[in-house]
Amino acid sequence: MGVSETIVAAMIGAMATVTTALFQLFGAIRGRSKADNSKPKRGMTLRSVLAMFALMVASAAGGFLYSELLKQRHSEDIRAMRQELKELKRELMQDLSAVAATRTSVTAQPTESRDSMVASVAAGLQPAHLGPARSSAESIAYMPACLAQDVGAQCEESDAQRIALCGTIPRHAQVREIELFVQPDAVQNPWEEHRVLFEQDLGGAMFTGKSFEYVQGTENKAVCVNFVHWSSEHPHIARLLVEYGFGPPEPAPLPDTSFDALEPTTLPPPGPAVIAGPIRE
């Protein structure tokens, strides 16, 4: 009906007050009339009615004022709530504007820059245990000069000292390449100048057999090669370099099949011309 709960409560209170006042007033008049056993005066009755009417008006006014006070407090609460909602809406719109501006700037970047950004993010998300795409491990051994059993004699290959050089790599890595190096102790040149092969005689030293592997713990493995040394003239320094990587091996470069890369075909020099004629008997 459009009447708030506060107004209904005020009306109920006013009706209860008026009812109580009327009950007390009529009870007092009846008791006085019985005691005096005479008819009450007309002026006293009129004053009683006016007093009752004034009490009713005061009760109604008090209930109305109380309901207005509650209504005013309720309105203030609603106004404060609306102000908070406006502030939240303003902050939300600012955040949405910032997100839209950032998205526009990212979309406006060239394709190459976006691809580089994606590549950098993908590189940052690469698992740490995989490591770089290609790495290496090395091992170096010093082999002293061989001493024969007879004084002044030279050691033979049967008297060679044998040792295994091993490089430790991750267990799930794949060996890409094994490089071998040997140089005399007195020579201090770059290792690239002393690259050797398996079974290559180096004047009393060589790498024999082939590489082999064995597991070291739960995370690593060793890649090893055998090295023998029987030189009695001077020591040797042997070096093993193991290059490894993760994932499938790198594809081999394709040969250049362009027209400029083709070598000209060498034709044989022209010989004497042979003319075939009829055979005469």
For every residue of 196-226, DSSP letters joined together read: E-BT---SSEEEEEEEEEEEETTTEEEEEEE
Q: Are residues 116 and 157 in the same domain?
A: no
pLDDT at 6: 67
Residue of 152 and 139 predicted with greater confidence: 139
Strands 205-216, 195-196: pairing kind? unpaired
3-state secondary structure at position 275: coil
Q: Are residues 120 and 202 in the same domain?
A: no
Which among 125, 145, 163 is the end of a domain? 125
Q: Is the pLDDT of residue 269 over 70?
A: no
pLDDT at 43: 64
Tell me which residue of 223, 212, 209, 230 sits closest to 162, measured CA to CA.
230
Q: Are residues 149 and 110 in the same domain?
A: no
In-domain check, residue 118: yes
Q: Is residue 222 within 8 Å of 167, Cβ to Cβ?
A: yes
In-domain check, residue 271: no
Residue of 176 and 63 predicted with greater confidence: 176
Q: Is the pLDDT of residue 107 over 70?
A: no
Q: Is the pLDDT of residue 14 over 60?
A: yes
Tell me which residue of 216, 236, 232, 235 sits closest to 224, measured CA to CA.
216
Instruction: For the chain, give percent helix, strand, coil, nearest 5.
Output: 45, 25, 35
- Distance between CA atoms of residues 210 and 178, nearest Å: 10
What is the pTM assigned to this prediction? Answer: 0.43
Q: Are residues 137 and 231 in the same domain?
A: yes
Tell me which residue of 134, 126, 210 sits closest to 173, measured CA to CA.
134
Token couple for 228: 């023998």
pLDDT at 46: 72
In-domain check, residue 257: no
Rank 8-12, 134-138, 197-201, 259-263 by mean pLDDT and report only the highest. Answer: 197-201
In-domain check, residue 171: yes
Q: Are residues 31 and 95 in the same domain?
A: yes
pLDDT at 42: 57
Residue-wise pLDDT tens digits, 233-255: 888 899 999 999 987 766 666 66
What's the total number of domains in the chain? 2
In-domain check, residue 253: no
pLDDT at 273: 41
- Distance between CA atoms of residues 22 and 51, nearest Å: 10
In-domain check, residue 56: yes
In-domain check, residue 136: yes
Least confident interval from 102-106, 122-126, 227-231:
122-126
Which among 95, 125, 155 is the end of a domain? 125
Mean pLDDT, rounded, of the chain:
75
Which among 91, 125, 159 is the end of a domain? 125
Residue-wise pLDDT tens digits, 38-54: 555 556 667 777 777 77
Percent of the chain at pLDDT > 90 equals 20
In-domain check, residue 237: yes
Q: Is the pLDDT of residue 117 over 70?
A: no
Report the pLDDT averaged over residues 11-28.
75
Tell me which residue of 235, 220, 231 sits closest to 155, measured CA to CA.
231
Looking at the DSSP bridge assignments, the partners of residue 178 are 242
Task: Find all residues with CB under 8 Å of 195, minimum gap 6, and list them.
Answer: 179, 180, 181
Q: Are residues 97 and 204 in the same domain?
A: no
Q: Are residues 110 and 146 in the same domain?
A: no
Q: Are residues 213 and 142 in the same domain?
A: yes
pLDDT at 274: 41
DSSP E strand boundaries for 112-204: 134-143, 161-170, 174-184, 195-196
> Which residue range is the domain that position 216 belongs to?
132-245
pLDDT at 130: 47
Report the pLDDT averaged over residues 129-143.
76
Task: Find all residues with CB under 8 Å of 208, minimum gap 6, and list them.
Answer: 198, 199, 226, 227, 228
Q: Are residues 120 and 11 in the same domain?
A: yes
Strands 161-170, 220-229: pairing kind? antiparallel
Sheet holding 205-216, edge to edge: 161-170, 220-229, 205-216
pLDDT at 41: 56
